[in-house]
Amino acid sequence: MFELKKILGAMLMPLPLLGILCFIALVIALRTNKLSAYIGIFAISFLLLVSTPFIGQQIIDPSSQLKYTFHSNQQPALDKIVVLGCDVNPNPQLSANSQLGNCAKSRLVEGLRLANIYPNAQLIVSGGGYAKVTNSSLMQQTAISLGVDATRIKQNPAAMDTADEARLLAPTLVDFKVALVTSASHMARASDLFNAQGVDVIPAATDFYDFSAWPTHKQYIPNVEVLKAVTRYWREVLGSAWINVRRWIDPEAL
């Protein structure tokens, strides 16, 4: 009974429920417009499939991201800890940490963990934002509220994407021992961009996705968290493809 309740509850969530309703509607539409219906059925079927933990797990391949975990026992010292920006939700009525999205919080927590292990390392928080509210300023305010000395933190508020972050920060990072903190799915592209600027970074990934431990009754039900993970994976595929195109056009680009 417990598992049945969980299955029914999961199936009634917006993604699986509306997806199934769309699928049924498209099957009915086959009577009048077969081509459009077939395209719709393929699209909605693909969306639902990649949103299931079982399929999503095969796409994102969490085990391949484990090489980006940071091992402090292998790094006796660090000079710089760079935390890349992510999502922000500006709202002046909220505290700084509440304006950071989950991705940004996850990255900042890892940065603060490393800052605690390496008390002499400079903490660099990066990322632009909206209007006058930047990811870097919110991260700095949050870090200070959690006990980090303000003089130890440097902002990089002008960067609007990872290429900007690498380009703007490179002059202050070259020849230093640098830990790069970003999401596990983003680490390969981010490291590549920093390496291209002459900065040899040590990966310190966070924000991992792994659905292998989810119970069996959830493995085949579409879930928005899985869709989010697959979306991030796809964004990295597109981002890497764009970098390759830019470099093909101009070898000096990025």
Q: For 29-41, what is each residue's pLDDT tens digit? A: 777 888 878 888 8
The sign one gets for the Cα dihedral 50, 51, 55, 56 is positive
Structure confidence at residue 98 (pLDDT): 96
Domain ranges, ordered by start, for the chain: 2-62+219-249, 67-206
Question: Which residues partner with 203 through β-bridges?
Answer: 180
Structure confidence at residue 163 (pLDDT): 93
Structure confidence at residue 1 (pLDDT): 59
Domain range 67-206, CATH architecture: 3-Layer(aba) Sandwich (3.40)
Task: Round to whole Å and give the CA distance between 180 and 172.
Answer: 14
CB atoms within 10 A of CB 239: 19
Q: For 207-223, what is each residue's pLDDT tens digit? A: 999 999 999 888 999 99
Residue 239: C-alpha distances to residues 109, 162, 227, 246 (Å): 25, 10, 18, 11
